[in-house]
Structure formats: structure tokens, C-alpha cells
């Protein structure tokens, strides 16, 4: 169980990247009052949490209905995570397009899009939750461990979003970039492991 706890926490923390959310959140909501920023952060985390939990419980059934194996999802998720990791390492943090950014700035409510989806609960996070849920089936109370880490990382994301201005001031642009690159390197290694496990399972 300790191994599952550590793996699920690191996976979800790296994929959701609470630290990397800070500059994006400041770009979208930095000019709003602190109270409004707190409301946006809270709603974004709640929406993302609902989506992740729903996918955790019902995603496997959806895959079975579509005839997709968990090993195939591991490979697809690993490829997707590797692309995200490459963007993080080379500072191409392209979680949304420029058109989506402009649309988000014009909207009154940015908590659902793009903060909750795809910044917090993006494709990589959804795939990771489903893969970790499959791995937790052979561990007593493994599902509870994975869900606990989902809520834990979401709580950390809420804390970072709530303290976005202070975090940026403390770390500086260079500090945020360094943390993002280190997390990207870890995510790349994890992505390769997902692909290797998926290929071994299919063969």
C-alpha cells in the first residue's frame, strides 16, 4: 500500500502540476479582486474533482463498452503524458490554444474552462486516474488510497491557486520554470513506464 500511495500521489501531482497552474491562473484572473480569485479557484477545483471521481468509478465501464483494454489505455496515456512532459521541460506549456486563452479572458467565469478543464482535469489526469484505479484493484483499500491522493492533490492545487500571487513572488519566474521542468522530467519517465507496462500487457 505505501508503494501505491507514493506512486499515485507523485503521478497525480506531476500530471496536475499545481505549481505550473500558478502563472496560467495569474494570466487569466490576476487582475480580479482576491475574493473573486478565491471563488474561481474553489469552483475550478470542485468541478475538476467531480470529473476525476466520476471517471475513476465509471471510466472503466465506458472503456469496456467501447472495447478498449486497460493496457491500450496505458500506452495511449503514456504517449499523451510524454507529450505533456516535453512541453513542460521545454517550456512549451500549451495546455490551451491562443484562441482558447482569448475566449477565457472574455468570459465572466473562467473556473470551468479553462481552469477545471483542461488545466486541472485534463486528458493526462483522466488517463492517470483510470490507470491507477486499475492498479489499485489488487491492493486492499487501494481505491481509497487513489481517491485520497486525488483529493489531496486537488487540495494542494486549491492552495496554490489561492496563494498564486504570493507563490509567484516567492519563487519568481525562474523558480516556477525550474519546478515545472523538474516535474516534466519525472512525468516523462513515468510516461515511458506506462508505455512499457502497456506493451508488456498486450504481448
pLDDT of residue 24 exceeding 80, the answer is no
| 140 exposure class (CB count in 10 Å sphere: 0-12, 13-18, 19+) | exposed
Q: What is the mean pLDDT of residues 129-133?
A: 91
Q: Tell me: the pLDDT tens digits for 50-99?
A: 999 999 999 888 888 888 887 887 788 778 778 877 877 886 544 445 55
- Residue 194 pLDDT class (50, 70, 90 cuts): confident
Number of structural domains in the chain: 1
Residue with more model confidence, 132 or 177? 132
- Residue 104 pLDDT class (50, 70, 90 cuts): very low
**Res 99: pLDDT:** 55
**Res 94: pLDDT:** 47
Nearest to 28 by CA among 136, 89, 116: 116
Residue with more model confidence, 49 or 86? 49
User: What are the grid coordinates assigned to 65, written together?
Assistant: 463498452
| 45 exposure class (CB count in 10 Å sphere: 0-12, 13-18, 19+) | buried
Q: What is the mean pLDDT of residues 183-203?
A: 83
| d(C-alpha 1, C-alpha 73), whole Å | 23
The Cα-based distances of 79 to 82, 115, 198 in angstroms read: 5, 23, 11
**Res 190: pLDDT:** 76
Residue with more model confidence, 95 or 131? 131
**The domain containing residue 117 runs over which residues?**
2-202
pLDDT of residue 100 exceeding 60, the answer is no
**Res 97: pLDDT:** 52
Amino acid at each position: 500500500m505505501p508503494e501505491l500511495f507514493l506512486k499515485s500521489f507523485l503521478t497525480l501531482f506531476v500530471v496536475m502540476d499545481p505549481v505550473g497552474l500558478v502563472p496560467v491562473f495569474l494570466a487569466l484572473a490576476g487582475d480580479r479582486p482576491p475574493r473573486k480569485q478565491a471563488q474561481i479557484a474553489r469552483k475550478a477545483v470542485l468541478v475538476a474533482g467531480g470529473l476525476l471521481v466520476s471517471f475513476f468509478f465509471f471510466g472503466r465501464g465506458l472503456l469496456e463498452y467501447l472495447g478498449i483494454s486497460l493496457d491500450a489505455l496505458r500506452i495511449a496515456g503514456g504517449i499523451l503524458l510524454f507529450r505533456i512532459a516535453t512541453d513542460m521541460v521545454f517550456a512549451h506549456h500549451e495546455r490551451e490554444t491562443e484562441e482558447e486563452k482569448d475566449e477565457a479572458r472574455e468570459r465572466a467565469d473562467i473556473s470551468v474552462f479553462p481552469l477545471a478543464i483542461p488545466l486541472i482535469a485534463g486528458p493526462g489526469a483522466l488517463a492517470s486516474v483510470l490507470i491507477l484505479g486499475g492498479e489499485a484493484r489488487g491492493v486492499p483499500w487501494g481505491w481509497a488510497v487513489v481517491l485520497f491522493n486525488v483529493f489531496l492533490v486537488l487540495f494542494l492545487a486549491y492552495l496554490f491557486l489561492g496563494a498564486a500571487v504570493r507563490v509567484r513572488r516567492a519563487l519568481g519566474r525562474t523558480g516556477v520554470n525550474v519546478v515545472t521542468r523538474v516535474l516534466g522530467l519525472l512525468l516523462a519517465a513515468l510516461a515511458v513506464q506506462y508505455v512499457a507496462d502497456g506493451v508488456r500487457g498486450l504481448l
